[in-house]
Amino acid sequence: MIYSGLIRTLAITTIIGLSSFPADAAETYKLDPSHTAITWHVNHFGFSTPSGKFMSVDGEVTLDESNPSASSVKVTIDLNGVNSGVVKLDEHLKTADFFDVAKFPTATFLSKKVHLTGKDTAKVDGDLTLHGITKPVTLDVRLNKIGENMMKLKTAGFTASTTIKRSEFGISTYVPNLGDDVKIDIESEANLLPVAQPTDGASK
């Protein structure tokens, strides 16, 4: 489920080759936690497909619009922030049966490569570390828009998705009755970080 968290930052890297803003150098964007959500879906004994979210995500993406393959992204997800809408289920998900947050409080994602597949789409490859295990993950990403937000900040918005097998990350409780495949959907916005200005001493 948390895989979703990682996934959503990967998506941002696709913006590199699709930006409508001219850029002479790589730019760094900060994920906006108030406009970023990672949603997971898992089959429950064949009866239904419940979902939950991770809302506590921190990350940055460096976009090189002139050379997309040089772009990168790093994301950290606070697994304690899992929210299924059911308090008792959230408590269970945090135990050793699933995320085991006492030992593994966070999940991370580090991108490795971006493959443009269209004018506004891409596949983003990266390593997801969850439950102490690192596995490759590929995100299908769509760039929604790059422009100025209400706060006058240059912003990139995107949608991403992927499917992972939780057992590959050592989370196999109730498999196969509780689905092994976990579908992840990501919606995110990231804001351009201001360029650091040199100090008086550095500029002399």
Q: How far apart are CA 39 and CA 15, in angstroms?
A: 21
**Token digits of residue 19:** 């930006």
Q: Does some domain include residue 200? A: no
pTM: 0.80
pLDDT digits 0-9 by tens, 98-154:
999 999 999 999 999 988 888 888 899 999 999 999 999 999 988 888 889 898 999
Give the pLDDT score at 70.
73
Q: Does some domain include residue 28? A: yes
Q: How far apart are CA 88 and CA 108, in angstroms?
A: 25
Q: How many domains does the chain have?
A: 1
Q: Does some domain include residue 134? A: yes
Q: Does some domain include residue 98? A: yes
Q: Does some domain include residue 203? A: no
Q: Does some domain include residue 96? A: yes
Q: How far apart are CA 64 and CA 41, in angstroms?
A: 33
Provide CB contacts within 8 A for 118, sequence distance 6+.
none
- Residue 82: φ, ψ to 5°: -60, 135
Q: How far apart are CA 173 and CA 180, in angstroms?
A: 9
pLDDT digits 0-9 by tens, 69-106:
677 778 899 999 999 999 999 999 999 999 999 999 99
Q: How far apart are CA 139 and CA 141, in angstroms?
A: 6
Range of the domain at 161: 3-195
Q: Does some domain include residue 202? A: no
Residue 196 confidence class, pLDDT cut points 50, 70, 90: low
- CATH number of the domain bearing residue 146: 2.40.128.110
* Cα angle, residue 172 at apex, residues 46 and 140 outer, rounded to 5°: 75
